[in-house]
């Protein structure tokens, strides 16, 4: 079983991202489970969402403490929350940032920093980065295929909104393919 | 066909396929997504029944009771304080023998206020005379709704049921689930045939007062119906298995109990985490298994005793508290009574209250304590803040 923890802020779509990853993973042929950290959501407050991937039926219901993957939707979270907590050796951390990561990174963990906000602003006209980050996650993790992700996005959104989100995800995917 | 759905949406899809004539509910976390979805379906004409908006849970279940007495198939859903506000109506529904099905997205009761999961709400209504069944995963939560209507409406039973699934842990989780085809559901669950109903042409009264000459017998009849419901649940679970391929003919389910020396017992979603922990302990040579209770009311005492034969140590994972009870929780008392054997150690471990996460390590620790004979305790207390 592989596990993903998503760190975001209320309103950034962390829970939607987790759901879309689970749907895309299932379409890619593995079992998946997505759930939010059950907090009292407020816009701007740190939130978490989780995804499990497995070749077998997933029975475990606890939150995720030792993830293989972490997505950080907003780099300002790194100062507030220990986003690296419990990450396994060989793990991958995907960070949306326009700057270098200055914080110390646990040994054996690969950090992939990229500017998802820039892509989202260009493609969607809004700083909503979750779908862009999904494309990036597909590229660096290999847990979901771009085709399955596109299918999940076209089920969630309609018309030009679906097309724009798929394009943003595809740009991020192509940018990061082979990075991790 | 398997698809990934949120637990609440899967339940709403199941309810839609049960074709309720009337739905009335009041939104409360974490039940909200179920009734939001059903309200949308009703507004879009996907659900043909009437969705009655009300101003409280008390009114919601009261509207359901009236509609049920008028011969409708009826649905509601709630959690925690909402269920407690319904408490008076709950006793009326069961006393009037109305086969209402209500989903409980299990949540802790205040005070202190908590929106998070435990099983205090439904277990607090243990004696309300409703059937209580508990789901381990989203698939089981979905399937139990079809079974619940079939059992409740059976004229041998005529009782209401709570279909309980853990709030957030199942209600807000996306996972693969098979939503049965409508045609097969129609075959399994035909239209509701009321035993009797309010009808202006053939007037009758329900919920009248009963003098001491009659009340006692009403309560006896209620008890007999609850006892009969156990076999009707088994029958309906077996028939469900034949049509849909998922068998629910047992009211308890064993996991790796053969040759086990220690058995864990639990209700609901924590059974999944327990199974993963058991696999780890088995690899380490610890002979441990799980007995999952699918039904809490009627309590399947004989089935449980049969499944636990030869087991000398039992650990109950209690997600509720009965303050002042020697066993601390409602489940432990039932199990201890069912086993009724002083050579078997039955110990309770209160855990997961108000959303405290239950991890595999929690289960390892509970099994270790049980092996040492330590129990009837709160697990995982933060001593430093007491």
Domain boundaries, chain A: 2-98+105-176
Order of all β-strands in the sheet with B22-25: B50-53, B22-25, B74-78, B101-106, B161-166, B131-134, B295-297
Closest CB to A38: pick one of B4, B116, B272: B116
CA gap A34, B136 in Å, rounded: 16
3-state secondary structure of A54: strand
Say how many CB pairs under 8 Å bridge A and B.
Answer: 68
SS3 B67: helix
Nearest-angstrom CA–CA distance, B365 and B371: 10
Dist. CA B332–CA B336, nearest whole Å: 6
Contacts of A26 in chain B (CB under 8 A): 2-4, 176
B346 vs B315: CA distance, rounded Å: 6
Residue whose C-alpha is closest to residue B270's, from B106, B124, B144: B106
Fold entry, domain B252-385: Rossmann fold (3.40.50)
- Of the candidates B4, B6, B269, the beta carbon closest to that of A61 is on B269
- Rounded Cα distance, B42 and A94, in Å: 42
Specify the residue for token string 């994972």.
B317
Distance CA A77, CA A72 (A): 8
Of A34, A38, A61, the CB nearest to B174: A34
Dist. CA B386–CA B382, nearest whole Å: 7
Select the more confidently predicted residue: A11 or B72.
Answer: B72
For residue B354, the chain A residue with the least C-alpha distance is: A38
Check residue A100 and give its pLDDT: 82
- Rounded mean pLDDT of A147-154? 97
| pLDDT at residue B350 in the model | 98
* pLDDT attached to residue B283: 98
> Angle CA(B266)–CA(B269)–CA(B271) in degrees, nearest 5?
45
**Who among B173, B273, B357 is closest to A33 (CB)?**
B173
Convert the pLDDT of each residue in A55-101 to its tens digit: 999 999 999 999 999 999 998 999 889 999 999 999 999 999 988 88
Q: ipTM, 2 decimals?
A: 0.95
DSSP B54: -
pLDDT surpasses 80 at A38: no
- What pLDDT is attached to residue B104? 98
Q: Which residues contact B361 (CB under 8 A, 6 or more apart)?
A: none
- pLDDT recorded at residue B344: 97
What is the token pair recorded at B376?
Answer: 């009837």
CATH of A2-98+105-176, one of 3.30.930.10, 3.10.100.10, 3.40.920.10, 3.90.1150.10: 3.40.920.10
Q: Where are the alpha helices (DSSP H) in B77-160?
A: 80-85, 87-95, 120-124, 138-153
Say yes or no for a CB contact (<8 Å) between A62 and B359: yes
pLDDT for the residue numbered A180: 62
What are the helix and strand counts (H, E) for chain A?
A: 6, 6
Provide the shortest C-alpha distance from residue A62 to chain B (in Å).
5
- Please give chain B's pLDDT, 386 residues, in tens: 899 999 999 999 999 999 999 999 999 999 999 999 999 999 999 999 999 999 999 999 999 999 999 999 999 999 999 999 999 999 999 999 999 999 999 999 999 999 999 999 999 999 999 999 999 999 999 999 999 999 999 999 999 999 999 999 999 999 999 999 999 999 999 999 999 999 999 999 999 999 999 999 999 999 999 999 999 999 999 999 999 999 999 999 999 999 999 999 999 999 999 999 999 999 999 999 999 999 999 999 999 999 999 999 999 999 999 999 999 999 999 999 999 999 999 999 999 999 999 999 999 999 999 999 999 999 999 999 99
Domain boundaries along the sequence of chain B: 2-244, 252-385
Measured distance between the N- and C-terminal CA atoms of chain B, rounded to whole angstroms? 50
Inter-chain residue contact B6 with A58, CB threshold 8 Å:
no
Res. A40 pLDDT band, cuts 50 70 90: low
Query: Quick one: pLDDT at residue B22?
Result: 98
Whether B174 and A35 lie within 8 Å, measured CB to CB: yes
Q: How many CB atoms lie within 10 A of CB A84?
A: 18
Distance of CA B10 to the CA centre of its chain: 16
* Residues B39 and B65 sit within 8 Å (Cβ to Cβ): no
Using a CB-CB distance cutoff of 8 angstroms, which residues of chain A are in contact with residue B357?
62-63
Mean pLDDT of A126-145: 95
Q: In chain A, which residue's Cα lies nearest the Cα of B272?
A: A59
Query: Other CB atoms closer than 10 Å to residue B364's CB: what's the count?
Result: 17
**Please, which residues 9-28 of chain B have a Cβ atom closer than 8 Å to chain A?**
none
CATH class of domain segment(s) B2-244 = alpha beta
User: Where do we find the tokens 């390892």?
Assistant: B364
Nearest alpha carbon to residue B194 among B298, B12, B67, B95? B67
- What pLDDT is attached to residue A11? 86
* pLDDT score of B170: 98
């Amino acid at each position: 079983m592989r596990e993903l923890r998503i760190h975001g802020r209320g309103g950034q779509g962390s829970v939607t991202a987790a759901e879309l990853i689970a749907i895309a993973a299932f379409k890619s042929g593995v079992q998946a489970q997505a759930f939010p950290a059950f907090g009292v959501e407020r816009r701007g407050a740190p939130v978490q969402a989780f995804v499990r991937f497995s070749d077998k039926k997933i029975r475990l219901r606890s939150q995720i403490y030792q993830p293989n993957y972490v997505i950080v939707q907003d780099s300002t979270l790194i100062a507030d929350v220990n986003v690296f907590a419990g990450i396994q050796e060989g793990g991958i951390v995907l960070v949306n940032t326009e700057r270098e990561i200055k914080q110390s990174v646990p040994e054996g963990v690969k950090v992939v920093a990229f500017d998802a906000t820039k892509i989202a602003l260009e493609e969607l006209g809004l700083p909503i980065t979750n779908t862009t980050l999904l494309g990036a996650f597909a590229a660096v993790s290999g847990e979901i295929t771009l085709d399955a992700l596109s299918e999940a996005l076209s089920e969630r959104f309609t018309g030009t909104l679906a097309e724009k989100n798929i394009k943003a995800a595809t740009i991020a995917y192509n940018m990061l393919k082979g990075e991790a | 066909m398997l698809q990934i759905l949120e637990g609440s949406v899967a339940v709403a899809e199941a309810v839609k396929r049960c074709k309720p004539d009337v739905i009335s509910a009041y939104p409360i976390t974490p039940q909200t997504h179920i009734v939001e979805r059903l309200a949308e379906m009703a507004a879009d004409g996907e659900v043909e029944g009437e969705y009655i908006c009300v101003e409280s849970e008390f009114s919601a279940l009261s509207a359901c009771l009236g509609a049920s007495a008028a011969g409708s198939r009826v649905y509601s859903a709630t959690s925690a304080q909402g269920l407690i506000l319904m408490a008076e109506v709950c006793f009326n529904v069961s006393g009037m023998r109305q086969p209402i099905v209500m989903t409980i997205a299990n949540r802790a009761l205040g005070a202190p206020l908590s929106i998070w999961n435990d099983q205090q709400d439904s277990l607090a209504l243990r004696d309300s005379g409703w059937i209580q069944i508990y789901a381990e995963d989203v698939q089981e939560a979905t399937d139990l709704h079809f079974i619940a209507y079939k059992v409740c409406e059976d004229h041998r039973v005529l009782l209401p049921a709570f279909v309980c699934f853990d709030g957030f842990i199942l209600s807000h989780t996306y996972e693969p689930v098979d939503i049965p085809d409508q045609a097969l559901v129609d075959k399994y669950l035909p239209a509701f045939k009321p035993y009797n109903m309010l009808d202006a042409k053939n007037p009758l009264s329900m919920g009248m007062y009963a003098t001491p000459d009659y009340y006692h017998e009403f309560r006896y009849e209620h008890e007999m119906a609850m006892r009969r419901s156990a076999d009707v649940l088994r029958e309906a679970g077996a028939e469900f298995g034949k049509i849909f391929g998922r068998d629910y003919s047992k009211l308890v389910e064993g996991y790796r109990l053969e040759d086990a020396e220690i058995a864990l017992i639990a209700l609901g979603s924590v059974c999944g985490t327990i199974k993963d922990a058991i696999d780890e302990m088995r690899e380490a040579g610890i002979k441990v298994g799980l007995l999952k209770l699918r039904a809490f009311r009627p309590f399947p005492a004989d089935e449980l005793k049969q499944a636990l034969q030869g087991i000398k140590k039992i650990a109950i994972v209690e997600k509720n508290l009965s303050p002042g009870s020697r066993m601390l929780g409602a489940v432990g008392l039932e199990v201890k009574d069912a086993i009724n054997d002083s050579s078997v150690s039955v110990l309770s471990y209160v855990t997961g209250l108000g959303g405290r996460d239950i991890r595999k390590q929690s289960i390892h620790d509970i099994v270790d304590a049980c092996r040492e004979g330590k129990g009837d305790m709160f697990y995982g207390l933060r001593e430093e803040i007491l």
